[in-house]
């Protein structure tokens, strides 16, 4: 705890001394490209669906996913799995796919879902113990390597996923199994004050993503029950909810929406939409109020060619609850909207 407090204080002091502007220090900016996953690899494209570029080329035995842009739009952090142990590793690469290198690969932990701190100097991610089932906490480390630091504590059967910092340093994440609730979003505005739940249990919130102004969080619903997943927004302070997509009550009649990501200008949200019969997956863009949705790209669902790899991924750090849903989610396209580099 003392170490966490110290690091937090040092980060705050660094902000004050260096005068790093809050607004432009992190994810807000001019709308850049959208990164997404197809099969085992990460791609980028323009926000209109043009100029698709493949960044990784891992082949059927490996996989890259849970990618996240650096605040300046010049780097992408991502998870990578592959032989021999298929444990999740934390990797970095430039926005054009060059300089791919591992930041953290551990034989006794599964690591996934990295995202950058507002100053771009560190990544925060989920680190799962292998000696205890379904037990994952949040850790942070420097993008230059080293400085591995616990942000939250391990607790048997508790998972903490998709950590994301806002521009002003508030940390939100998806918790599973905390206080008897399946999935919900939690906010750590201040490490001294601890965390608080900001979404109701019945929404089963997952895949949170800050708006660039740091005031709202977009998320998908129903992470672990057979209801049509939708995109909602919650106000980080008031906890007021706003429903952006409405997909009905019949699981096989309505679409399934996952993984929203705001545009850096805050005017739009891109997300993954899976067809009602789960036969295809699309990247859809809509205005931030939920209107004017448009499909950018349609992909095969779970395009990984190596099913044993898929299964291996699911075994790591995850329960067996709803593998079908997890397959859609983790084998999905995970669109992430980056800032246009200056």
Partner 1 sequence: MQSSSSRHAFLSSCFVAGLTLILFSALASATFAGKNGRITFVADLSGTFQLYTINPDGSGLFQVTSLPTTSNSTWFPDYSPDGKQIVFCHDMTGSLELYVINGDGTGLKQITKIDGTDKLFARWSPDGRRLVFLRVEGILEAISLMPSDGSGEIRDLTRDPWDVYQPTFTPDGRHILFGSREGGLVSAIWIMNLHGTDKRRLTKAPIEAGGPDVSPDGRHVIFYSRQNTVRPGHVFVMSVDGKGTTQLVPNDLVSYFPTYSPDGKKIAFEGDSLGSANIFTMNADGSDITKITNNLVENCGGNCVIADWGVEPVE
Interface positions, 283-322, toward partner 1 (CB under 8 A):
319, 321-322
Beta bridge partners of 194: 190
User: Does residue 331 touch partner 1 according to CB under 8 A?
Assistant: no
Residue from 238, 227, 189, 237 nearest 205 by CA: 227
137 binding partner 1? (CB under 8 A): no
Q: How far is CA 232 from CA 2, 99, 195, in A?
A: 36, 36, 21
Pick one of 31, 38, 166, 227: the residue that binds partner 1 (CB under 8 A): 227
CB 20 within 8 A of CB 119: yes
Pick from 21, 59, 147, 157 the residue near partner 1 by CB under 8 A.
157
The smaller minimum CB distance to partner 1, of residues 135 and 166, is found at 135
Closest distance between partner 1 and the C-beta of residue 313, in Å?
19
Q: Does 249 bind partner 1 (CB under 8 A)?
A: yes
Please state the closest distance from residue 183 (CB atom) to partner 1, in A: 7
DSSP string, 23-92: HHHSS-SSEEEEEEEETTEEEEE-TTS-S-EE-----TT-EEEEEEE-TTSSEEEEEEE-TTT---EEEE
Question: Which one of 204, 220, 261, 281 is in contact with partner 1 (CB under 8 A)?
Answer: 204
Q: Closer to partner 1 at the Cβ: 72 or 329?
A: 329
Q: Cβ(35)–Cβ(67) under 8 Å?
A: yes
3-class SS string, 24-35: HHCCCCCEEEEE
In whole angstroms, what is the distance from residue 301 CA to residue 317 CA? Answer: 22
| Length of the chain counted residue by residue | 342
Single out the segment in contact with partner 1 by CB under 8 A; choices: 62-70, 122-130, 162-170, 178-186.
178-186
Going by their DSSP bridges, the two strands 194-197 and 122-129 should be labelled as: unpaired
Using CB under 8 A as the binding rule, whether residue 181 contacts partner 1 is answered as: yes
Contact between 156 and partner 1 by CB under 8 A: the answer reads yes
Asked if 224 touches partner 1 (CB under 8 A), the answer is: yes
Nearer to partner 1, 136 or 296 (CB): 136
State the residues that interact with partner 1 by CB under 8 A. Answer: 132-135, 156-157, 177, 179-184, 200-204, 224-227, 249, 251, 319, 321-322, 324-325
């Amino acid at each position: 705890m003392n170490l966490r407090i110290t690091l937090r204080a040092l980060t705050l002091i660094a902000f004050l001394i260096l005068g790093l502007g809050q607004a432009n220090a992190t994810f807000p900016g001019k709308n850049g490209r959208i990164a997404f996953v197809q099969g085992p690899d990460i791609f980028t494209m323009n926000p209109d669906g043009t100029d698709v570029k493949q960044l990784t080329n891992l082949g059927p035995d490996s996989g890259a996913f849970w990618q996240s842009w650096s605040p300046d739009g010049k780097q992408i952090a991502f998870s990578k799995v592959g032989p021999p142990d298929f444990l999740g590793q934390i990797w970095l690469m430039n926005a054009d796919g060059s300089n791919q290198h591992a930041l953290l690969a551990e034989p006794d932990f599964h690591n996934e879902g990295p995202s950058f701190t507002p100053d771009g100097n560190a990544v925060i991610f989920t680190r799962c113990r292998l000696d205890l089932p379904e037990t994952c906490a949040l850790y942070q480390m420097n993008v230059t390597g080293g400085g591995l630091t616990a942000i939250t504590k391990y607790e048997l059967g508790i998972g903490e996923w998709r950590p994301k910092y806002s521009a002003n340093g508030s940390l939100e994440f998806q918790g599973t199994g905390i206080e008897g609730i399946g999935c919900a979003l939690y906010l750590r505005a201040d490490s001294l004050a601890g965390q608080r739940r900001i979404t109701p249990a019945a929404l089963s919130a997952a895949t949170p993503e800050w708006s660039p102004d740091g005031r709202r969080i977009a998320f998908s619903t129903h992470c672990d029950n057979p209801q049509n997943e939708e995109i909602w927004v919650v106000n980080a302070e008031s906890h007021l909810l706003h429903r952006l997509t409405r997909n009905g009550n019949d699981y096989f009649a309505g679409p399934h929406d996952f993984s929203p990501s705001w545009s850096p200008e805050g005017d739009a949200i891109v997300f993954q939409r899976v067809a009602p019969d789960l036969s295809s997956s699309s990247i859809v863009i809509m205005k931030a109020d939920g209107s004017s949705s448009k499909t950018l790209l349609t992909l095969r669902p779970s395009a990984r060619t190596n099913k044993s790899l898929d299964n291996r991924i699911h075994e790591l750090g995850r329960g067996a609850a709803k593998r079908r849903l997890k397959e859609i989610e983790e084998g999905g396209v995970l669109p992430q909207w980056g800032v246009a580099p200056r």
